[in-house]
Amino acid sequence: MQISVIGCGRWGSFLAWYLNGIGHQITLYGRESSRKFTELRKTGTNGLVTLDEKMNLTSDLGAALKSQILVISIGAQSFRSLMEQLSSRDLAGKTVVLCMKGLEAGTGKRLTQIFEEYRPDTPVAVWVGPGHVQDFTRGIPNCMVIDSRSMQVKKELVNAFSSDLIRFYYGDDLIGNEIGAASKNVIGIAAGMLDGLNKTALKGALMSRGTREIARLIRKMGGNEITAYGLAHLGDYEATVFSPYSHNRRFGEAFVRGEDYGELAEGVATTKAMLTLGRQYQAELPISDAVNRVINQGEEPNRVLSDLFLRSIKMEF
């Protein structure tokens, strides 16, 4: 199949590498101004993956849009501006796959909602779940989810994308999978904060209460609360709450240590979106709120953690 990957960062370059490796014809699109793309074009590698020479690397969006399947993996906060660019293009007969874990910070919108604002007639799917490039390229397989409103789209994509390296499941809850995938980054920041505060022992409680918090929100939004315990959220905790490779966990750890962190940590913007959704759906989100107080309001992390322990006593479930 002809597949274009839009986005040439850590995940986009991996997706191009992976899809090429299982026999598809790949075009990788990056912006002309991109340092990451320049490096890939010049050297064929970014230190994480080495691209096959037969892969087509282009900065021409029109050329990238010729493929039958368009896989998008960019920072979630840039997604609306990309959709503005795509809004006037001919996407007839194409399927779009969103490989991002974020929500729009200002509105709390899910990425398929933004997509459908611009392209209501184009089939769209999400590909989410656990997996770091460093593990996949060492041959360690993982399980992921593809979700879409259309069963036919899910079947076609799972069929085209499956391999010994990735076992896919069909998702059946776009709300739950998108909220779950994005919010695991907020929990990942919280996990990093615990590491930075030398309170790693609390990660078990974080996992348990984090999934409850997200399950409650998903239910209030009209999704299936069980999805919080699936691959997109709980299933992604090893990759985010524990992994040395996680950008979100590392951001949280660096933040409480007063250090800068230079990579994209989607959870920072998603934290704001979560608070918007909490207000909109009247859902209590104590962990997301605590992360927000630390990273956006400058509150002292140990004090915020103590406040979480002082909340009124309630039933666990």
Residues making contact with ligand 13P (CB under 6 A): 101, 130-132, 185, 188, 236, 239-240, 245-249, 266
Among 21, 45, 46, CA closest to 166: 21
Site membership for ligand NDP, residue 36 (CB under 6 A): yes
Residue 76 interface partner, choices ligand 13P, ligand NDP, none, CB cut-off 5-8 Å depending on type: ligand NDP
Give the Cα separation of 300 and 75 in Å (integer): 28
**DSSP-based three-state secondary structure for 28:** strand
Could you tell me the two tokens for 11? 């995940």
C-beta of residue 190 within 8 angstroms of C-beta of residue 252: yes
Contact between 73 and ligand NDP by CB under 6 A: the answer reads yes
Q: Any known ligand binding at 11?
A: yes
CA distance 317 to 315: 6
Task: Measure the CA–CA gap between 17 and 15, rounded to whole angstroms.
Answer: 5
Q: Indicate the residue among 72 and 217 with the shorter CB distance to ligand NDP.
A: 72
| Least spacing, CB of residue 142 vs ligand NDP, in Å | 8
Smallest Cα–Cα separation from 79: which of 43, 103, 50, 44?
103
Tell me if residue 314 is catalytic: no
| CA dist list (Å): 144 to 65, 76, 129 | 25, 19, 5
Stretch that binds ligand NDP, among 3-11, 171-179, 199-207, 293-301 (CB under 6 A): 3-11
Strand, coil or helix: what is 78? helix
100 binds, among ligand 13P, ligand NDP, none (CB under 5 to 8 A by kind): ligand NDP
Question: Is 237 a residue that touches ligand NDP (CB under 6 A)?
Answer: no
98 binds ligand NDP (CB under 6 A): no
127 annotated to a ligand binding site: no
Q: Applying CB under 6 A, does 16 fall inside the site for ligand NDP?
A: no
Catalytically annotated residue among 101, 109, 154, 184: 184
For 130, the 3-state DSSP assignment is coil
H helical segments located in the chain? 10-21, 35-43, 61-64, 79-86, 111-118, 133-136, 151-161, 174-196, 203-220, 237, 247-256, 267-280, 286-295, 301-309
Minimum CB separation of residue 155 from ligand NDP in Å reads 20
From candidates 82, 124, 234, 294, binder to ligand NDP by CB under 6 A: 82
> Should residue 269 be labelled a site residue for ligand NDP when binding is judged by CB under 6 A?
no
Q: Which does 36 bind (CB under 5 to 8 A by kind): ligand 13P, ligand NDP, none?
A: ligand NDP
Give which of 210, 182, 206 is closest to 268, Cα–Cα. 182
* Residue type at position 301: P
- Using the contact rule CB under 6 A, the part of the chain among 10-18, 223-231, 272-280, 281-289 near ligand NDP is 10-18
The answer to the question of residue 8 lying near ligand NDP (CB under 6 A) is: yes
In the complex, least distance from residue 296 CB atom to ligand NDP, rounded to whole angstroms? 19
Which residues are part of a known binding site?
Answer: 7-12
Which residues are part of a known binding site for NAD(+)?
Answer: 7-12
Binding site for ligand NDP (CB under 6 A): 6-12, 31, 33-34, 36, 73-76, 78, 81-82, 99-102, 128, 131, 264, 266
